[in-house]
Structure formats: C-alpha cells, structure tokens
A = this chain, B = another copy of it.
C-alpha cells in the first residue's frame, strides 16, 4: 500500500543511539545556554529526541547528570607538559580557572565530591608536581589544597559577579556608601584576571618561602 512507503512514514527523529556521552554533552550544552535552573530531565530528554524516562536507563538520578557534566568541565583543563614546578602549578591552575569560567554554572556545582576521573587526574597531577618539588609531610596536602581551593573559590567569586560589570553589587554599595566606604572606593568592578594573578603570586611566594628557605 502506498502509505507504507518509506517516504510517507514519519522519519525517525534520531538515528544515533542514545549514549551516556551524548547525554552528558547535551547537558553541558543546555547548561551553557540556559543555566542550571533550566536543566530538567524532561527538557534534556526533549533536546535528545526522547522522553525523560528514557534517560533513566543510562543514568540513575539527575545528580548523576550534574556530576558527569561537572567532570566534563574538568576534562577541559590541560595538563602542562614541562617546566619548573612553579610554572607547572601556575599553568594548571590558570587553565583550571579558565575552564570553570567558560562554564559559569560549574561554579555552582563545586560543592559535591569531586571524584570523577578528570577531576582526580588533575588533583593527582597537582600532588605529583608538588611532591616532585620537595613538598612533603603536612606541606604537601596543605599546598595542594591551598591551590585548588584558591582556583575554585576565585572562579566562584567571579562567576557570582553578573556579566563582569559588577552593576548589581555596585548599585547596592553606592547606595550605602557611608556604611561600606573602603569597599565602595576600592572594591567595585575589579580586574579579575589581575586579582587572580596577584593572589596566586601571594600563595606561590608563601609556599616557596616555607619549603625552600
């Protein structure tokens, strides 16, 4: 019969099979475009051409999707190949910050255990770099945690600032100039790159001085 012709049958919307990788990639795209509040199992499934309940064969919960999306961001952080320990640590940490800021929603997920393979690989790299530089005993975890804490904290702080213009904060501060005089005079619209670079220098200087006197 004519109406069984290939051309008349509704085309399969999606030929590619649904995989975990496709789900994670689409979740990252959705988060990039619309932010965390709009990430819904139903909306995510819709973008993939299925129903929301289909996702649950590939994934146990929505939290899984978020964990995987976050680790995908960590996967974008390059591992610097060579250099002295200080340059390698600085390069790692700078690339780490850039990846987080490319996906500002990621800073809202930095509570929750970072146990994905990409996150662990970067942490291991940091530990290995510092251990190789002579950090030992209590200085090794202290140095490693200080650096990673500094990255995640400063990316969060910057992502918090809407569109980098500091308009909202500025308005609130200027309205209460007398209550926050120093902050209003010097804390508006900081140059985030410069703040990060200088803060990192403080930290690395302090680390170097304590372990290599």
Q: Which of A152-169 contact B (CB under 8 A)?
A: 152-154, 156-157, 159-162, 168-169
Is chain A's binding surface mostly helix, strand, loop or mixed? helix
> Is A73 in the interface zone, CB < 8 Å from B?
no
CB pair A114 B198 closer than 8 Å = no
CB pair B203 A120 closer than 8 Å = no
Interface size class of A (residues with CB under 8 A): 35 or more
> Is A143 in the interface zone, CB < 8 Å from B?
yes
How many copies of this chain does the complex contain? 2
Interface string of A106-130 (1 = CB under 8 A from B): 0110111111010011011001100
Give residues in A with beta carbon < 8 Å to B: 107-108, 110-115, 117, 120-121, 123-124, 127-128, 131, 138-146, 148-154, 156-157, 159-162, 168-169, 172-173, 176, 179-183, 186-187, 190-191, 194-195, 198-199, 201-207, 209-210
